[in-house]
Chains A and B, each alone.
Chain A
Amino acid sequence: MRTGALIVAALLLLAGCTADGTDDGGPVTLRFQSLAWQEESVQANKDLVEEWNATHSDVKVDYVQGSWSSVHDQLLTSFEGGEAPDIIHDASDDLADFAHGGYLADLTGLLPARLTSDIPQRSWRTTTFGDGVYGVPFLQEPRVLVANATWLKRSGVRIPTPEHPWSWPEFRNITRQLSGDGEYGVAWPLKEPVSATLNLSLSAGGRLFHRGADGKVTVRFEAGDEVVPRTIHDQVDTDHSASPTTLGSGGSDTLPGFFGGRYAMVPLGFSYRQQIVQQAPKGFDWQVLPAPAGADGLAQGVSPQTLSVAEDSPHKEEAAAFIDFLLRPGNMVRLALGDWMLPTGTQALADPALHTAKDGWATGTALAEHLRPAPAQAVRGYAEWKDKVATPAFQEYYSGAIGLSELRERLEKDGNLVLARYQR
């Protein structure tokens, strides 16, 4: 049947079917593909589109619903076929390939100074490839510890704050203190161990990827890179203070055990709070704690959500104007609240709605200044390195199957072979 499709395709192409591609005049119509998926977030996006359309008779925006689970393939096909949406919602770690492929417009010069100066440089670095800026980073989420507040209070351990976070050794001690009788101090959901480990390792000065003077990247697993993996490994295999069964789980899978009093803490993305609010049993008292800090404080890597403009769009200026509208401070706050995430914009971040103690907003907001581009952001070959080398190596290390030296050797030796192929 695939063959049939190819034959039909070839015949129709030979038949010379062509589109005229003419513009029929009238108001400009832009297609905005959004990946918003939570009820409040979808509503906020649709409301903003409506508000734009009500005040801009010359530029109409059509809201198109996209999906996180398949956005890369869907966009790639649309780019290749010249049918990409004008305004594209995605994550910054997905942009490098599209930017290098020439599918995204360089936004330099298209965005107003208000927006460029409002978003910190560290966030812009997540969407800057070479000399161009290929997306506007607008939402991000730190990894936090979601804790059973009653359990922590009862145990008498020091409760960390963004000003006085736990160190990694202190965190290990506390999880040991909280464990026993089938209960664990922490449950690490490490279905995707690489990004979690690398992003948290920034706090301990881990970099893993080192760019040389020739621009080529190599993997070096140094002292700073060891801290987070060693802590997790020791919690699971030495102290038995971390549940071994959740190592292969996603964040949502750990929630029943967390609500059931099996784990005192679960490291999760900030936006998981929405699920916790929905699913937590009545009376369950939970709180958000900052992730432990190391030599570099609370630093951690993130891949923000972004808005880009398609290179093929004939209306780049209008698209940039819509992005500017969508990301005005008040609107950015609406989008952030809808997605339970943090805005990148400085003015939006100052909004009182994001500083309430309720649902841990204030703790998360306090972490915003420590967020950095994920270490692997612009490393070509990262996806293959992650899938073929790093994921199995970390999984084996965390489960106790291999030691730290073998982990290092595999990440460096096998990893550099993979990266070298992409950098010839």
Chain B
Amino acid sequence: MRTRPGARAGQYAALLGYLVFLALPFLWLLSVAFKPARELGSLHPTWIPEHPTLGNFRQAFDEQPLLHAAFNSLLAAVSAAVIAVVLATPMAYVMARRPTRLARAASGWVVVSQAFPFVLVIIPLFLVLKNLRLIDSVPGLVMVYVVWALPFALWMLVGYVRAVPVELEEAAAIDGAGRLRTLVSVTAPLLAPGIVATGLFAFVTAWNEFFFALVLLKTPEKQTLPVVLTHFIGTEGVADLGPLAAAAFLATLPSLAVFAVVQRRITGGMLAGAVKS
């Protein structure tokens, strides 16, 4: 279908506007991170720092164990994402391909569970982890993140599995492939974009999560990045703005890097086979 040049230009303009809208907070964060304290108090703030400084980064690293916290966050987020995907994929396959009454009820419950507040589970969860001696441990936190991400991951993956035509699996069976071979050679490659997207969702959720990490981790050496970021905030919301922005900017980088690496995989996978060559 051909698009008129005027409409195309409008689409690009809208897309550009949307990108700018999305990017503004990030660009402002970047700007603040490089501004000296005196520029932060200016009545006429500028996008480009007049006297850019690395002082905020230096202070942020001096005051808080950011690298260690980032490592803890990365460990927790990657572990949670991998485990959630490994557990959710076969479950999603069964739920999609064998839609029993129980599976349908489970799907409904997953949707309803999204409305439950964090505080409802935190105390029982705290007690359980305490009994397991997993309070103040990154593995304990990973366990919570997996449990937290699993239903939504399952929900996402069920949709992806349903989108894979069952006829492909039937054709593979007719060609003599066993169930495992069909799953590995036919279904899994088609599911790859969904698995990556689900893993990404689990990763970002865990990477950004604050409340569980705050409550479950005590030792400073085990705290994750979102918890450490709050140490730049004082009473009545007063913030050490420069170092906070510097640390927050660094905290966004891993998410961006993961997106940059996998986004091609997602779009590539989604489009694979869409057009007959």
Binding site for B on A (CB under 8 A): 1-6, 8-10, 12-13, 17-19, 31, 37-39, 42, 62-65, 67-70, 73-74, 77-78, 80-83, 85, 91, 192, 250-252, 255-257, 259-262, 269, 271-272, 275, 278-282
Contacts and interface: CB of A to CB of B under 8 A. Distances in A.
Nearest to B62: A39
Nearest to A262: B43
Contacts of A63: 220
Given A12-B132, A38-B240, A279-B38, A68 B43 contact: no
Contacts of A255: 41
Contacts of B151: 1, 3-4
B95 to A, nearest CB: 14
Contacts of B277: none
Interface in B119-146: 119-128, 130-133, 135, 144
A1 B112 CA distance: 9
Nearest to B37: A278
Nearest to B126: A81
B273 interface: no
B177 to A, nearest CB: 34
A256 B42 contact: yes
A260 B233 contact: no
B240 A37 contact: yes
25 contacts: A1-B110, A1-B147, A2-B114, A2-B120, A4-B150, A5-B125, A6-B120, A6-B124, A9-B124, A19-B131, A39-B59, A67-B214, A67-B227, A67-B233, A68-B230, A69-B230, A70-B210, A73-B119, A74-B214, A91-B235, A192-B236, A251-B236, A252-B237, A269-B236, A280-B38
Ordered nearest first, which 10 A-B pairs have the shortest CB separation?
A: A260-B43, A279-B41, A2-B116, A3-B113, A67-B230, A81-B126, A278-B37, A17-B131, A1-B151, A9-B124
Interface in B201-249: 210-211, 214-215, 218-220, 223, 227, 230-241
A251 B237 CA distance: 9
Given A82-B130, A259-B43, 20 more contacts: A1-B147, A3-B112, A5-B144, A19-B130, A31-B218, A37-B231, A39-B62, A39-B240, A63-B220, A64-B218, A65-B231, A77-B123, A78-B126, A78-B215, A85-B218, A251-B236, A259-B42, A271-B234, A272-B238, A282-B38
Contacts, number: 168
- What is the interface residue range for chain B against chain A? 35 or more
Nearest to A85: B218
A5 B122 CA distance: 9
B149 interface: yes
Contacts of A62: 219
A257 B43 CA distance: 6
Contacts of A271: 234-235, 238
B109 interface: yes
A72 to B, nearest CB: 11
B170 interface: no
B40 interface: yes
Nearest to B43: A260
Most chain A CB within 10 A, of B149, B150, B215, is at B215
Contacts of A275: 41, 238
Contacts of B220: 63-65
Contact of B128 (A12, A252, A260, A262): A12
Contacts of A260: 42-44
Nearest to A7: B147
B113 A83 contact: no
Nearest to B241: A252
Contacts of B43: 256-257, 259-262
B41 to A, nearest CB: 3
Contact of B41 (A4, A80, A281): A281
Contacts of B42: 256, 259-260, 281
A252 B148 CA distance: 36
Contacts of B118: 2
Contacts of A13: 124, 127-128, 131
A194 to B, nearest CB: 13
B234 to A, nearest CB: 4
A9 B131 contact: no
Contacts of B90: none
B44 A37 contact: no
Contacts of A3: 109-110, 112-113, 116, 151
